[in-house]
Structure 1
């Protein structure tokens, strides 16, 4: 029995992906439509927890100002303000982040930018941000 074509010594497999930095570590970003086991982004979850904790501390009157809270936490007030914005995210966005179902490309850095107050506008803005990660 003879083969019509010889078997090659090596086989090359092309797997399209990009490496992105998230929370100080590198992750593979697969192309849209590719399925992969998702897990919560630790940096996003930690930032959300801090935002809601700080909001509760300010709302309860434990601290009168952001500057006072920042001094107590040992961080810069502008950083606290940027993270505190996460407490204003739409509930379904918060839930998707906690479940690891956030849109691919959604990072802590992208959430630190000013987002619209309206939840529908937030969703549109975040979709645009995530699309720019794929196109960029």
Structure 2
């Protein structure tokens, strides 16, 4: 019968990463080639959900104008208009955001800026 070797008391693991600010939060960024399980960006996901919900409410006739809906939601109509633009994003970009596969630099503030309406141009811009 052979004896097992005694395990050391301390094990040191080195994981290369750096902290980057993203949407006001600090996030770990792994080096190129390292596999990472990205988490979905809750801020982007929530903004997409709101945008599509508001679009449905406007299309259904529940609210006639953006101003009326913005008043009900307690937000500025200009902000609502910018968030509603997210419904014009290419399906690939929306899917990437919902699956946590969007570019690490993509943040809500950038998406609220004007972007091309053509999906192919969006994919080029946000890729």
- The interval holding the TM-score normalised by the smaller chain is 0.7 to 0.9
Say what the alpha-carbon RMSD is for the aligned residues.
1.9
SS of the aligned residue for 2:21 comes to strand
What residue is the counterpart of 2:123 in the other structure? 123
Considering fraction of residues, name the structure with more helix.
1
Matches of 1:33 and 1:81, distance apart in 2:
39
- Report if aligned partners of 2:22, 2:105 keep a CA contact under 8 Å in 1: no
The Cα offsets for residues 26-59 of structure 1, whole Å up to 9 and x where unpaired, read as 2123344332211100000000000000000111
TM-score (norm 2): 0.81
Matches of 2:99 and 2:64, distance apart in 1:
33
Structure 2's unaligned 5+ residue stretches are 1-13
What residue is the counterpart of 1:113 in the other structure? 113
* Offset of residue 112 of structure 1: 0.7
* Offset of residue 126 of structure 1: 1.3
* Offset of residue 71 of structure 1: 0.3
- Report if aligned partners of 2:19, 2:26 keep a CA contact under 8 Å in 1: no
What residue is the counterpart of 1:96 in the other structure? 96
What residue is the counterpart of 1:17 in the other structure? 18
Structure 1's unaligned 5+ residue stretches are 1-12, 128-136
Would you say how many aligned residue pairs link Structure 1 and Structure 2? 115
* Offset of residue 121 of structure 1: 0.7
